[in-house]
């Protein structure tokens, strides 16, 4: 969203007594006012959206974007444009706005579906998993025949995992730990707690991954739509600047 529609050239090209031309100038100026105001609003919202580091904040900025483009769409569609050639150009801009609106609504919908999922909660989830693992390691400071069994499961955990792989990796670890036959004692107690934490927390991690993918897809839809804006505005400028 880099270009602002300017109708200064169109105003200069039309004489004061050229009725048809004055009509074109008036309508071009009406369109320009709405488009330029919308571009300014979207610039700010886009910056705020990209700066957001929490799903809830992303949802708020996406809703602001939806509201802004809906307002611009309503204003443009309310214009009674009679100048030949201008109406399809405005329709093209409105089409772009509606694609942005669709992407913004998808972000809002996904954030609402995710509930109170925040970066803080995700970090706390990872910390809980790590602490539960550390508790098992601490229990094994006292020699036990069960420790090598648990260690083998830990060693099988991938050294490096992608966001998509985190949930499945922990799920497999929990399932493998459940298969172990452990004697009653500190190691079994700590391992049982780790299994419990894995079952509780992996769901949240997988939800976070799904949300991130959905937000990226919606963001791409917005980016693809906005990528059309320069051409649409250039076309409007070309038309409104022509004599």
How many Å apart are CA 142 and CA 156, to the nearest integer? 22
The reply to whether 148 and 163 lie within a common domain is yes
Per the CB < 8 A criterion, the answer to whether 71 and 42 are in contact is no
DSSP label at 16?
T
Residue 42's φ and ψ, nearest 5 degrees, are -70, -35
Would the pLDDT of 93 be above 80? yes
The reply to whether 147 and 174 lie within a common domain is yes
pLDDT of residue 122: 75
* C-alpha dist (Å) from residue 125 to 77, 120, 203: 48, 9, 10
DSSP string, 107-147: HHHHHHHH-S--HHHHHHHHHHHHHHHHHHHHHTTS--TTH
Number of domains, the chain: 2
pLDDT of residue 205: 76
How many Å apart are CA 26 and CA 11, to the nearest integer? 9
The reply to whether 98 and 148 lie within a common domain is no
Q: State the pTM of this model.
A: 0.66
Query: Mean pLDDT, the chain, as a whole number?
Result: 81
DSSP label at 180?
-
Q: What percent of the chain has pLDDT over 70?
A: 89
Would the pLDDT of 18 be above 60? no
Please indicate, yes or no, if residue 3 is contained in any of the structural domains.
no
Please indicate, yes or no, if residue 220 is contained in any of the structural domains.
yes
User: Over the stretch 65-88, which tens digit does the pLDDT of each residue have?
Assistant: 899 999 999 999 999 988 888 999
The reply to whether 44 and 126 lie within a common domain is no
Residue with the two structure tokens 């172990």: 180
Query: Which candidate, 13, 3, 8, 4, places its Cα nearest to that of 242?
Result: 13
Which parts of the chain fold into alpha helices (H)? 8-13, 19-51, 55-78, 86-114, 119-139, 147-155, 163-178, 186-226, 229-241
- What mean pLDDT is predicted for residues 133-150? 90
pLDDT of residue 19: 40
Q: How confident is the model at residue 233 (pLDDT cuts 50, 70, 90)?
A: confident
The reply to whether 130 and 193 lie within a common domain is yes
Q: How confident is the model at residue 228 (pLDDT cuts 50, 70, 90)?
A: confident
The reply to whether 97 and 87 lie within a common domain is yes
The reply to whether 206 and 216 lie within a common domain is no
The reply to whether 101 and 171 lie within a common domain is no
Q: Which domain holds residue 111?
A: 8-116+212-241
Rg, C-alpha atoms of the chain: 29
Q: Count the Cβ atoms, other than its own, within 10 Å of residue 81.
A: 20
The reply to whether 51 and 63 lie within a common domain is yes
Would the pLDDT of 184 be above 80? yes
């Amino acid at each position: 969203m880099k270009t602002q529609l300017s109708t200064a050239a169109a105003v200069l090209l039309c004489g004061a007594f050229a009725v048809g031309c004055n009509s074109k100038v008036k309508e071009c100026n009406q369109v320009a006012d709405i488009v330029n105001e919308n571009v300014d609003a979207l610039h700010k919202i886009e910056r705020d959206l990209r700066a957001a580091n929490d799903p809830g904040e992303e949802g708020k900025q996406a809703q602001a974007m939806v509201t802004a483009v809906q307002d611009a769409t309503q204003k443009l569609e309310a214009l009674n444009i009679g100048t030949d050639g201008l109406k399809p150009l405005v329709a093209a801009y409105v089409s772009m706005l509606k694609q942005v609106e669709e992407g913004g609504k998808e972000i809002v919908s996904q954030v609402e579906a995710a509930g109170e999922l925040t970066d803080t909660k995700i970090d706390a989830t990872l910390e809980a998993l790590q602490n539960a693992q550390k508790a098992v390691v601490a229990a094994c400071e006292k020699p036990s025949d069960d420790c090598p069994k648990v260690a083998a499961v830990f060693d099988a955990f991938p050294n490096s995992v992608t966001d998509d792989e985190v949930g499945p990796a922990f799920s497999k670890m929990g399932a493998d730990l459940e298969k172990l036959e452990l004697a009653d004692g500190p190691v079994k107690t700590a391992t049982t707690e780790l299994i419990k934490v894995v079952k509780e927390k992996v769901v949240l991690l997988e939800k976070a991954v799904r949300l991130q993918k959905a937000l990226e897809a919606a963001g791409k839809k917005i980016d693809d739509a906005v990528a059309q804006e320069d051409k649409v505005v250039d076309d409007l400028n070309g038309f409104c600047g022509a004599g």
